[in-house]
Amino acid sequence: MTKVTLTVNGRKVSGECEDRTLLVNFIRENLGLTGTHVGCDTTQCGACVVHMDGRSVKSCTILAVQASGSDITTIEGISSGDTLHPVQAAFKENHGLQCGFCTPGMVMTAVDMIRRHGGQLDEQTVRSELEGNICRCTGYHNIVKSILSAADEMGAKQAAE
């Protein structure tokens, strides 16, 4: 067993796990944060996306021991109390989810996408950047609409500051 120490959603945490434990399993099983989903275990679906040191990563492709010392943000860490993150709010307003299984990964991917593009996104860019995230319920139309809406809101907020 190896000791893993991370900062998760702003809180320093430690736990022991086998060297082969995936980050997604460590987050879910050791920390009890079940918003990060296990979908395919092969980096195909994107349901397990979290932010590691500020960048979106598929946590089913990273060992927990490799992430030790990192700053991890999960879907549970992006809202502020009862106030949804603007991307979460946009998904709710624009019906960007159906069954909800892919939603945490989609939201985490979108938050990073908007950050990297400074809120300046178009439909083609969003669709291209969502290639690593699979939704089996929708045609992606409302997901893309949600991300563009959040990008507009977040870009306007940044411009006003």
pLDDT beyond 80 at 156: no
Does the pLDDT value for residue 161 go beyond 80? no
Domains 2-77 and 86-160 alike in fold: no
pLDDT digits (tens, 9 = 90+) for 84-143: 999 999 999 999 988 999 999 999 999 999 999 988 999 999 999 999 999 998 889 999
For residues 59-81, give the mean pLDDT: 97
9-23 residue pLDDT tens? 999 999 999 999 999
**CATH 3.30.470.30: does it fit domain 86-160?**
no
In angstroms and rounded to an integer, the radius of gyration of the C-alpha atoms of the chain is: 16
118: left (phi over 0), alpha (psi -120 to 50) or beta: left
* Domain residue limits, the chain: 2-77, 86-160
Q: What is the CATH number of domain 2-77?
A: 3.10.20.30
Q: Is the dihedral of CA 11, 14, 15, 18 positive or negative?
A: positive
- Over 70: is that where the pLDDT of 29 sits? yes
